[in-house]
Structure 1
Amino acid sequence: MIFRTATRQDLPAIIALLADDERAVDPATVTVDEAYARAFEAVDGDPRNEMRVLDDGEGAVLGYLQITYIPGLGRHGQERALIEGVRVHPEHRGAGLGRELLGHAVERARGRGCTLVQLTSNKRRTEAHRFYASLGFARSHDGFKLTL
């Protein structure tokens, strides 16, 4: 297993992971339209964002997440990291890959000098919440979203 930066060729596998939490979606059935391609290029070209994949060593994407580095005046001007889109392929869950993937992200944030790592998770993903708590993430805030 290796951690690496996502490439354009990984996009169908990433979209498949994000498509469904409960079942495996075949990347070959995913349509990478202009909106996905544009979004990938925007994230990939932004130095404050990283898309990281867990690769099985032969090019298959088993896990994915995005890290956004946020500057701010809070925490005495220290940068924080926001982790989003955390997914492990359903057929590989329970093998510790999610723990490795998030550990990798935390180490990247620490290496960049971040003093806080934060993430949000849909309220329906109760198993994910237990998982995040087992890694030391605390439910310290309530989040709010406004769909535009």
Structure 2
Amino acid sequence: MIFREATRQDLPAVLALLADEDSVVDPARVVTGQAHERAFAAIEADPRNEILVLTDGADGADGAGEVVLGCLQLTYIPGLGQNGQERALVEAVRIRADRRGGGLGAELMRLAAERARERGCGLVQLTSSKRRTAAHRFYERLGFARSHEGFKLHLEP
């Protein structure tokens, strides 16, 4: 397995993971729009944001290339709380539907937490949709605590 920052070439595979968490979506069938391109470029250019991928590490000798098995986005947030330490916000955590249950998600989250620790973050936080009960059990097994109630306000364009 290889854990690394996503490149522009990974964008279709990341979007495929985000498209449907219950089935495998072929990245070749994913349409990347201008909004996706702009968002990826903005994340890539921002030193406080990164999209990370976990791949199978294939060398591509057979022409297949490596397969993105999981992804997440880390955003580093400065703040006055936590004695001025940054915190890491984890979003868009996904593991390919056909590869779940083998520890890849735990490894992805472990590596992300280690990356945040190396950067000096005092904590890692995330939100998860209330309907994703299996994900909640997963995060709790990793040591995340339900410490806050989250709120969102969708803004109309």
TM score, norm. by length of structure 2:
0.93
Q: What CA distance in whole angstroms lies between the structure 2 residues aligned with 1:94 and 1:10?
A: 23
Shift of 1:68: 0.4
- Determine the structure 1 residue equivalent to 2:83: 76
- Determine the structure 1 residue equivalent to 2:30: 30
Decide which structure has the larger Cα Rg and report it. Answer: 2
SS at 1:38 equivalent: helix
Q: What CA distance in whole angstroms lies between the structure 1 residues aligned with 2:35 and 2:15?
A: 12
Shift of 1:73: 0.6
Q: What CA distance in whole angstroms lies between the structure 2 residues aligned with 1:101 and 1:72?
A: 25
Query: Residue 130 in 1 paired to residue 137 in 2?
Result: yes
Q: What CA distance in whole angstroms lies between the structure 2 residues aligned with 1:94 and 1:75?
A: 34
Question: Aligned letter for 1:99?
Answer: A
Q: What CA distance in whole angstroms lies between the structure 2 residues aligned with 1:33 and 1:21?
A: 20
- Determine the structure 2 residue equivalent to 1:65: 72
- Determine the structure 2 residue equivalent to 1:43: 43
User: Which ranges of structure 1 fall in alignment gaps of 5 or more residues?
Assistant: none
Query: Residue 110 in 1 paired to residue 117 in 2?
Result: yes
Question: Aligned letter for 1:84?
Answer: E
- Determine the structure 1 residue equivalent to 2:107: 100
Give the count of matched residue pairs. Answer: 148
Question: Aligned letter for 1:110?
Answer: R
- Determine the structure 2 residue equivalent to 1:85: 92
- Stretches of 4+ aligned residues off by more than 3 angstroms: none
Q: What CA distance in whole angstroms lies between the structure 2 residues aligned with 1:23 and 1:60?
A: 15
Q: Greater shift after overlay, 25-34 or 91-100?
A: 25-34
Q: What CA distance in whole angstroms lies between the structure 2 residues aligned with 1:143 and 1:21?
A: 22
Equivalent pairs: percent with the same residue?
A: 67
- Determine the structure 1 residue equivalent to 2:21: 21
Deviation by residue 1:35-65 (Cα, 9 ceiling, x = unmatched): 1000000001100011110010022100000
User: Which ranges of structure 2 fall in alignment gaps of 5 or more residues?
Assistant: 59-65
Q: What CA distance in whole angstroms lies between the structure 2 residues aligned with 1:119 and 1:98?
A: 14
Shift of 1:75: 1.1
Shift of 1:24: 1.1
Query: Residue 8 in 1 paired to residue 8 in 2?
Result: yes
- Computed over aligned residues only, the root mean square deviation of the Cα atoms, in angstroms, reads 0.6
